Amino acid sequence: MVFILGVNFPERNIVKKSLESFFGIGNLTSTRLLARFHIHPTCKVGDLGNKQVLDITAALSDMKIENDLRRQYLDNIKRLKETGTYRGRRHALGLPVRGQRTRSQIKNAVKLNRMERRL
């Protein structure tokens, strides 16, 4: 088990996949991170050197990921609402924000759009 940014990953996991399990890191960011520390894409977590683990953790802690990023998302929605924009109002009402019709097919908007949006 290897700790990367406080999360414990089993050694058999692939590094790229493990990185992508963080909120805010996708294919592109993980590819860049791997390239930056000379880790090949099929590398397993167990094969990482100590220095590489520390480097990755340091790089991740500089990035806006996980709860910081979630908070930023919520703040953005909140800002829209507080400035009284149409988009903010639609978020608060749980209706589509980007001009979709509301006669049918708004299940996702109903489910997701709210002030305290789940992320």
Q: Which residues bind another protein (CB under 8 A)?
A: 12, 31-32, 34-36, 38-43, 47
Minimum gap (Å) between residue 116 Cβ and another protein: 35
Question: In angstroms, what is the minimal distance from the CB of 19 to another protein?
Answer: 14
Rounded least distance, CB 113 to another protein, Å: 30
Q: Are 68 and 81 in contact (CB under 8 A)?
A: no
Q: Give whichever of 45 and 77 is closer to another protein, judged by the CB atom.
A: 45
Name the residue nearer to another protein (CB basis): 39 or 80.
Answer: 39
Nearer to another protein, 42 or 83 (CB): 42
Residue 11 CB, shortest distance to another protein, in Å, is 12
Q: Which tokens go with 35?
A: 């390239």
Residue 23 · residue 65 · CB < 8 Å: yes
Alpha-carbon distances, residue 24 vs 5, 6, 29, 81, 101 (angstroms) = 14, 16, 9, 24, 30
Cα dihedral across residues 5, 77, 119, 39: positive or negative:
negative
**48 or 109: whose CB is closer to another protein?**
48
Whole-number Å distance between alpha carbons of 93 and 106: 12
